[in-house]
């Protein structure tokens, strides 16, 4: 996390520094971005940078925390549904809002996977815990699999879908159409299969064969 002096900077200056860093990490990757080039582009010396951050990883962590916060902000809190139609409607609305945010903020899309991976637990998994718990109460989501495992796998599927959408976005001449098009349909199709107890037949067959 940033050092206390960073928090005392004007909000506009903080956002400028984190915005410059975010673009560099998005363009060059979390491993490839140069710390020296980031602080130079942000307009201060390496010596001055250490007044605000312990080093490159500290700055990266601050950037990824910001990305994760915006992803969760786009999703919004999961509000429990009281019947199946409302559950799917809210899920579609949340996924659509997230897709729209990623479409309009390519830096966040580029760093989404790293931001999610930067947090072992916390708000990201809590969102999916609320989602899965609600779906199980409604009978929409299977209950024959350990709850924690189902939450983790559901979150992992969404994380993988983000990475897949990024790859397609980079490869497409019209990326804006891809992020909120067939990607969403395929993602929720995967989740419906994961959440259905009928998919357990595949596990049983695999076990019997071995």
User: CB neighbours of 63 closer than 8 A, spacing ≥ 6?
Assistant: 18, 21, 22, 25, 111
Asked whether residue 77 is assigned to any structural domain, the reply reads yes
Asked if 54 and 125 sit in the same domain, the reply is no
Q: What is the mean pLDDT of each run of 10 residues along the chain (210 residues)?
A: 84 93 95 93 86 91 94 94 93 85 89 84 90 96 94 87 70 54 70 78 42
How many independent structural domains does the chain possess? 2
Asked if 185 and 115 sit in the same domain, the reply is yes
Asked whether residue 208 is assigned to any structural domain, the reply reads no
Asked if 55 and 74 sit in the same domain, the reply is no
Asked if 167 and 118 sit in the same domain, the reply is yes
Distance (Å, whole) CA 180 – CA 184: 6
Asked whether residue 210 is assigned to any structural domain, the reply reads no
Kindly report the pTM of this predicted structure: 0.81
E strand or H helix at 62:
helix 56-75
List the CATH number of the domain containing 56. Answer: 1.10.10.60
- Which of these, 169, 178, 133, lies nearest to 151 by C-alpha position? 133
pLDDT in tens, 90-106: 988 888 888 888 888 98
Mean pLDDT of the chain: 84
Burial environment of residue 209 by CB neighbours within 10 A (0 to 12, 13 to 18, 19 or more): exposed
Asked if 83 and 95 sit in the same domain, the reply is yes
Alpha helices in 118-171 (DSSP H): 123-138, 147-171
Asked whether residue 209 is assigned to any structural domain, the reply reads no
pLDDT in tens, 139-149: 999 999 999 99
pLDDT the model gives residue 209: 41
**Hey, what's the torsion of the CAs at 63, 65, 67, 68, to 10 degrees?**
160
Asked whether residue 204 is assigned to any structural domain, the reply reads no
Asked if 59 and 88 sit in the same domain, the reply is no
Distance (Å, whole) CA 90 – CA 3: 39
For residue 130, count other CB atoms closer than 10 A to its CB. Answer: 15
User: Which residue range is the domain that position 17 belongs to?
Assistant: 4-63
Asked if 133 and 51 sit in the same domain, the reply is no
Asked if 111 and 26 sit in the same domain, the reply is no
pLDDT the model gives residue 102: 85
pLDDT the model gives residue 208: 45
Alpha carbon 34 to its chain's center: 23
Asked if 21 and 96 sit in the same domain, the reply is no
Last residue of a domain, one of 27, 43, 63: 63
Asked if 52 and 68 sit in the same domain, the reply is no
Asked whether residue 206 is assigned to any structural domain, the reply reads no
pLDDT the model gives residue 136: 96
Report yes or no: 194 and 128 within 8 Å, Cβ to Cβ: no
- Which of these, 121, 131, 108, lies nearest to 191 by C-alpha position? 131
């Amino acid at each position: 996390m940033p050092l206390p002096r960073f928090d005392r900077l004007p909000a506009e200056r903080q956002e400028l520094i984190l915005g410059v860093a975010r673009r560099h990490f998005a363009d060059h990757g979390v491993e490839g971005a140069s710390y020296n080039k980031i602080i130079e582009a942000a307009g201060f010396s390496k010596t001055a940078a250490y007044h605000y951050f312990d080093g490159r990883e500290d700055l990266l962590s601050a950037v990824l925390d910001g990305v994760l916060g915006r992803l969760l902000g786009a999703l919004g809190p999961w509000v429990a549904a009281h019947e199946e139609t409302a559950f799917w409607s809210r899920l579609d609305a949340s996924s659509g809002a997230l897709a729209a945010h990623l479409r309009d903020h390519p830096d966040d899309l580029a760093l989404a996977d790293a931001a999610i991976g930067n947090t072992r637990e916390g708000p990201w998994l809590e969102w999916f815990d609320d989602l899965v718990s609600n779906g199980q109460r409604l009978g929409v989501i299977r209950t024959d699999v350990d709850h924690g495992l189902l939450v983790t796998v559901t979150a992992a599927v969404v994380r993988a879908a983000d990475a897949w959408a990024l790859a397609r976005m980079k490869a497409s001449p019209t990326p804006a159409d891809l992020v909120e098009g067939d990607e969403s349909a395929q993602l929720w199709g995967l989740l419906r299969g994961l959440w259905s107890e009928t998919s357990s037949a595949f596990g049983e067959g695999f076990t019997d064969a071995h």
